[in-house]
Amino acid sequence: MAQAVAHAPAHGTNTGIENRKLLMWLFLGSECLFFGSLIATYMVFKFDVIARGVGPFPHDVMINGVLHHGILDIPTTSASTFVLLMSSLTMVFAVYGAQHARPTLMKLSLLATIVLGLVFLGFQVYEFVTFVHEGLTLSTNLFGATFFLLTGFHGTHVGVGVLYLISMLAASMRRNGLGADAGAHVEIAGLYWHFVDIVWIVIFPLLYLMP
């Protein structure tokens, strides 16, 4: 009886979605609203900073006949974006391995995703330090305040995701691994990780590519 209860499937909801997955979707929906407000705030104050003529500026801008070079480093951020997108691919492999009883593939893919996430965070730390050395801080202008808030908040989500995946990898090393429900556990973690990647796909062109 105890064994039957231990391996019983998780309860679903009226929507046909498992409780834990539904809760993750609800959480991600609320995060969409939060990120949406941060992105909108950044876009408003980005152009306000250019109008006020208070640098450093995100992109090259001509003010009173003087060319001011932008502070954003597109090539470096493009490389970090590629790294984060590749982490989504390794996360897909992790979910596949968990759902098809291939624990080695799952563990290696989780490890690869963790490493790629840390590399992305390394790029972000480098960017922040470089900007501070060039005179852009939270208190320099509204562009700096909204930029650091938005990208820093996203970086925090990536950091939380890395810790989440580390806990999953550590749990998979136990004698019983992640149990009979490993596929669901890793899939839910994958939902969070893919959300973080999708948010960056929106942030990157709006912040870095749109002049």
User: At 112, which amino acid appears?
Assistant: A
pTM of the predicted structure, to 2 decimals: 0.85
Q: Which residues pair with 61 in a beta bridge?
A: 68
Rounded to whole angstroms, the Cα distance separating 155 from 132 reads 17
- Residues 6+ away with beta carbon under 8 Å from 44: none
> What pLDDT is stored for residue 3 in this prediction?
38
pLDDT digits (tens, 9 = 90+) for 64-110: 666 667 788 899 999 999 999 999 999 999 999 999 989 899 999 99
What is the structure's pLDDT at 155?
Answer: 96
| pLDDT for 139 | 82
Question: Taking the domains of the chain in order of start, what are their residue ranges?
Answer: 16-209
Mean per-residue pLDDT pooled into runs of 10, the chain (211 residues): 40 63 90 92 74 66 68 91 96 93 92 97 95 86 86 96 94 77 88 96 90 71
16-209 to CATH, choices 1.20.120.80, 2.40.440.10, 1.20.140.10, 1.10.4010.10 = 1.20.120.80
The helix or strand, by DSSP H or E, that contains position 9, with its residue range, turns out to be: none
Q: How far apart are CA 4 and CA 6, in angstroms?
A: 6
Phi, psi angle pair for 144, to nearest 5°: -60, -40
